[in-house]
């Protein structure tokens, strides 16, 4: 795999059962790159391992005054130098390629999962954790994939040095062969503690990142209530906790690094002392002593990779665990769904939208309004109607979280969860109550997949965006005379909440899906504009299935069919005016009646007068 081949045409289906399994899956996907890196690493480290023996042969040639042999040793040193240089350069190139390709694969998988889950992702995983996984964790995972081949090549060179010494200078070779494993494994008992400290640091860093993202997202509200200093203090405390945890983690890793320096130094001193005594006794030649000394000295370089692979795995394992947790999420809320042997055919046009869990039916081609007393339930229902729904969680008596499983929403009798993701998204579009506007021109904002039946002008008119166009044109640079070429800032921050909401509604109308689900599309606009928007939606979506979750009488009165959801199930169906007269619960939700007002509304005149007298006397 070359960097130029990125991104992958298909990043594959990851093994997300655990962090180590995910790392193993990544490694298997890059065997070719790992083998290339290993071969170049063996060339590089093999040259490093062979250098001491060449030096020893050269010294023996000088002592024996053999010029021809010294010349051959010089040529050997040149070859070893070339092998070290070329191997090092190519090892670095291939190892970095492995790192980038692994990171790119993980980022592609995360991007695909984000697109699959949509807004349901942040209901299961905190926003700060998502940011940490897609940035820092990806880098750590790539680091481990990169370090594996270098570590294996380093192990190869260490084995080569030890075996070579056993043949070249057996007495010193035994000492080195015993001492090197001790040095390599000496820091192993400290790794669990270092890993725990690193996990604590990452956990605190994730909380600080989440707090920072929440603060930035709500900065306008914080300024309105004067809460900037409060949240600044909270973030300052969180950042100091991260700093303290980082210092504690760094101390442990510094101790491990010190061990990797001290113990090889002690081994080198032992080899020199013992080798010198052997040389004085005439049991080894001077060249053998120099070769043994050089071999142990060069071992310091490959031994560092034991520390690197330990650190890389310790840091990447929890990162891979978090990435696997995100990648294991599914867009369906059923714990187990039978595997499809063949792709499910798309439903025929004109099918009804039906939710078996709540009993909600949205007839094809009609404007249906849904009223829920619980705003959170309305949001979950909107996501569910679009096939985005995931495991909904409610607290039980013991405070634990339990998943509620249920059948999928049906469109024309076909379960949305059984359709291909792109087909489900094309058939049913959900606009939540807090839509996001991406930065760019207004023309780019409306450059979305659509049927082509609705142009941007008609959608903007239906969403009552005339004042938004004027505002964008006034703030546009000189020379821009078409509001469609005016730029929108990040998340539309230069616009008011109502303006952003109307632009998002117009974008949804342009797509012209078979089923459009809108969650509180007019919550941020005034009543006059809301009435015109209700008419615009009804006119533009005539003959198309439209579901609006709202409690505004202006929208409800324009709907052809109104459904009341109570306690997670359909409680009543009718028109807005019919439900106002016959359903006290519906009237309470729509008109915001208090319990006392509801009780008084159900009394006769005589009872009403008596109740009022009681209220006055109690007052």
Range with the poorest average pLDDT among 123-127, 208-212, 275-279, 281-285: 123-127
* pLDDT over 70 at 440, yes or no: yes
Is the pLDDT confidence value at 393 over 50?
A: no
- Measured CA to CA, the distance from residue 57 to residue 79 in angstroms comes to 15
Mean pLDDT throughout 142-169?
87
Mean pLDDT of the residues in the chain: 82
Summarize pLDDT for 421-430 with one digit per residue, the tens.
788 888 999 9
Count of C-beta atoms within a 10 Å radius of residue 577: 12
State pLDDT tens for residues 528-537.
Answer: 999 999 999 9
Tokens coding 451? 């049927």
Say which residues have a Cβ less than 8 Å from residue 461's Cβ, sequence separation at least 6: 536
Q: DSSP letter string over 150-180?
A: HHHHHHHHHHHHHHHHHHHSHHHHHHHHHHH
- Please provide residue 237's backbone torsions phi and psi, each rounded to the nearest 5 degrees: -65, -40
- Token pair 């070779």 in the structure block, residue: 173
Average pLDDT for 280-307: 81
Greater confidence, 536 or 334?
536
Question: Given the structure tokens 């990171």, which residue do they identify?
Answer: 103
Q: Which of 180, 242, 244 is nearest to 210 (CA)?
A: 242
Q: Is the pLDDT of residue 198 over 60?
A: yes
Whole-model pTM over 0.75:
no
pLDDT of amino acid 6: 77
Checking if the pLDDT of 40 tops 90, the result is: yes
Contact 141, 320 (CB under 8 A): yes
Query: What tokens does 161 get?
Result: 């040095």
Residues 6+ apart with CB under 8 A from 422: none
Q: How far apart are CA 468 and CA 62, in angstroms?
A: 89
Spell 250-268 as b/e; 16+ CB within 10 A means b: eebbeebeeebeebbeebb
Q: Is 382 helix (H, G, I), strand (E, B) or coil?
A: helix
Structural contact between residues 324 and 401, judged by C-beta atoms closer than 8 angstroms: no
CA atoms of 572 and 329, how far apart (whole Å):
35
The residue-averaged pLDDT of 597-605 equals: 49
Q: Using DSSP, how many helices (H) and how many strands (E) does the chain show?
A: 23, 14
Q: Count CA atoms closer than 13 A to 443's CA, side-chain side.
A: 7
Tell me how far apart the alpha carbons of residues 253 and 287 are, in angstroms, rounded to a whole number.
38
CA angle 341, 345, 348 (to 5 degrees): 160
138 closest CA partner among 148, 126, 146: 146
The predicted structure's pLDDT at residue 361: 94
Burial of 478 (0-12, 13-18, 19+ CB in 10 A): exposed
Specify which residues 284 forms β-bridges with: none
pLDDT at residue 302 tops 50: yes
H/E/C letters for each residue in 263-276?
HHHHHHHHHHHHHH
Q: Given this model, what pLDDT does residue 399 score?
A: 39
Instruction: State the pLDDT at residue 613.
Output: 60
- From CA 270, how far away is CA 301, in angstroms rounded? 18
pLDDT on residue 82: 92
Nearest to 259 by CA among 295, 199, 300: 300
Band (pLDDT 50/70/90 cuts) for residue 220 is low
- Strand-pairing partners, residue 547, are 368, 517
In this prediction, residue 410 carries a pLDDT of 92
Least confident of 60-69, 396-405, 422-431: 396-405
Average pLDDT of 229-233? 72
Q: What is the secondary structure of 49-78 as a DSSP string?
A: HHHHHHHHHHHHHHHTT-HHHHHHHHHHHH
CA angle 552, 432, 543 (to 5 degrees): 70
Helix 31-63, helix 138-168: angle, nearest 10: 30
């Amino acid at each position: 795999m070359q960097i130029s081949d990125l991104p992958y045409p298909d990043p594959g289906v990851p093994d997300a059962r655990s962090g180590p399994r995910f790392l193993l899956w990544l490694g298997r996907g890059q065997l070719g790159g790992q083998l290339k890196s290993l071969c170049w690493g063996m060339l590089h480290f093999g040259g490093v391992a062979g250098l001491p023996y060449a030096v020893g042969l050269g010294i023996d040639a000088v002592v024996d005054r053999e010029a021809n042999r010294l010349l051959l040793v010089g040529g050997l040193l040149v070859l070893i130098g070339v092998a070290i240089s070329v191997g090092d350069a190519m090892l670095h190139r291939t190892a970095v390629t492995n790192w980038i390709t692994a990171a790119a694969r993980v980022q592609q998988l995360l991007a695909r999962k984000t697109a699959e889950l949509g807004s349901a992702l942040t209901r299961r995983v905190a926003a700060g954790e998502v940011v940490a996984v897609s940035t820092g964790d990806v880098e750590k995972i790539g680091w481990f994939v990169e370090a594996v081949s270098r570590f294996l090549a380093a192990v190869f060179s260490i084995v080569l040095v030890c075996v070579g010494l056993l043949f070249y200078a057996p007495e010193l070779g035994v000492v080195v062969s015993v001492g090197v494993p001790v040095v390599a494994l000496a820091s192993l008992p400290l790794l669990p503690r270092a890993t725990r400290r690193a996990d604590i640091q990452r956990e605190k860093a994730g909380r600080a990142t989440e707090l920072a993202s929440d603060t930035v997202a709500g900065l306008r509200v914080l300024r309105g209530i004067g809460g900037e200093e409060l949240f600044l203090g909270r973030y300052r405390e969180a950042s100091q906790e991260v700093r303290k945890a980082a210092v504690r983690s760094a101390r442990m890793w510094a101790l491990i690094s010190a061990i990797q320096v001290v113990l090889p130094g002690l081994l080198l001193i032992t080899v020199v002392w013992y080798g010198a005594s052997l040389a004085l006794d005439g049991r080894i030649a001077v060249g053998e002593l120099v070769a043994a000394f050089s071999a142990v000295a060069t071992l310091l370089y490959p031994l560092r990779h034991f520390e690197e692979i330990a650190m890389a795995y310790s840091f990447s394992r929890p990162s891979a665990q978090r990435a696997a947790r995100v990648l294991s999420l599914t867009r369906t809320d059923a714990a187990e769904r039978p595997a499809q042997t063949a792709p499910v055919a798309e439903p025929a046009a004109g099918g009804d939208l039906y939710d078996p869990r709540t009993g909600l039916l949205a007839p094809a081609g009609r404007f249906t309004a849904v009223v829920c007393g619980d705003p959170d339930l309305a949001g979950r229902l909107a996501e569910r109607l679009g096939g985005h729904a995931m495991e909904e969680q409610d607290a039980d008596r013991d405070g634990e979280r339990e998943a509620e499983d249920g059948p999928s929403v049906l469109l024309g009798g076909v379960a949305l969860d059984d359709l291909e993701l792109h087909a489900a998204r094309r058939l049913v579009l959900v606009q939540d109550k807090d839509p996001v506007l991406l930065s760019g021109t207004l023309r780019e904002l409306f450059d979305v997949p659509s049927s082509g039946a609705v142009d941007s002008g008609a959608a903007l008119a239906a969403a009552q965006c005339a004042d938004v166009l004027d505002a964008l044109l006034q703030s546009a640079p000189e020379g821009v005379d078409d509001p469609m070429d005016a730029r929108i800032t990040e998340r539309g921050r230069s616009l008011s909440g109502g303006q952003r909401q109307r632009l998002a509604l117009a974008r949804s109308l342009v797509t012209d899906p078979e089923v459009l689900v809108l969650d509180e599309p007019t919550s941020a606009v005034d009543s006059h504009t809301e009435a015109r928007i209700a008419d615009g939606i009804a006119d533009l979506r005539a003959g198309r299935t439209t579901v609006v979750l709202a409690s505004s009488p202006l929208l409800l009165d324009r709907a052809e069919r109104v459904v009341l959801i109570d306690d997670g199930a359909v409680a009543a169906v009718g028109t807005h005016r019919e439900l106002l007269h016959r359903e006290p619960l519906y009237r309470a939700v729509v008109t915001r009646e208090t319990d006392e007002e509801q009780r008084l509304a159900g009394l006769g005149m005589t009872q009403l007068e008596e109740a009022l007298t009681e209220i006055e006397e109690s007052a």
